[in-house]
A = this chain, B = another copy of it.
């Protein structure tokens, strides 16, 4: 790692040797300060032979916001405590954005989600209410569709800096909430919806 000054430019070139859902972020000390201000991103590396085709793909990054006082940006003090209380815990940076603007999926279609927990501090228990994940590849460890016994998964635990590829299918039209199933955080912005079909479940 090298440092970069204001106005400078540096080019990183690298070979994607390993498949997975990766987090990148700058490492200038204090690293926490950079991550908590959004200086990170997700890199998706598919296997050389590609992933099987699906009907829709999404990329979701869970992260935390620790707001500073009025007129300032973020609070390093709030983010540094051992049991931190993020003001918001969000998907793709904005609280409840997929509650306001649901992610549309075709009913019965295969949906793939690349999920990353950027943290910087809080674990995720990623869950989509009303679905079962038939495929989960978390940090390379796999649950494959059609496994012996036909086991599925209901939640994926992601520590900060862990990523996963998950797949599911919606059985019928409806609104399927996406949350972290650590429910004390859901009201802090960690709520969205997948809208299958017209969103109206058949009676």
A residues in contact (CB < 8 Å) with B: 1-2, 17-20, 22-23, 27, 30-32, 35, 47-49, 79-86, 119-125, 127, 129-130, 132, 134, 136-137, 139-143, 147-163, 174-175, 177, 181-188, 201
Q: How many copies does the complex hold?
A: 3
Decide yes or no: A155 and B150 within 8 Å by CB, A82-B86, A86-B82 being known contacts: no
Decide yes or no: A154 and B82 within 8 Å by CB, A140-B147, A160-B183, A181-B160 being known contacts: no
11 more A-B residue pairs beyond the given contacts A159-B182, A161-B181, with a C-beta to C-beta distance below 8 A: A1-B129, A19-B149, A27-B129, A30-B187, A32-B183, A81-B85, A83-B84, A120-B181, A123-B159, A125-B161, A160-B181
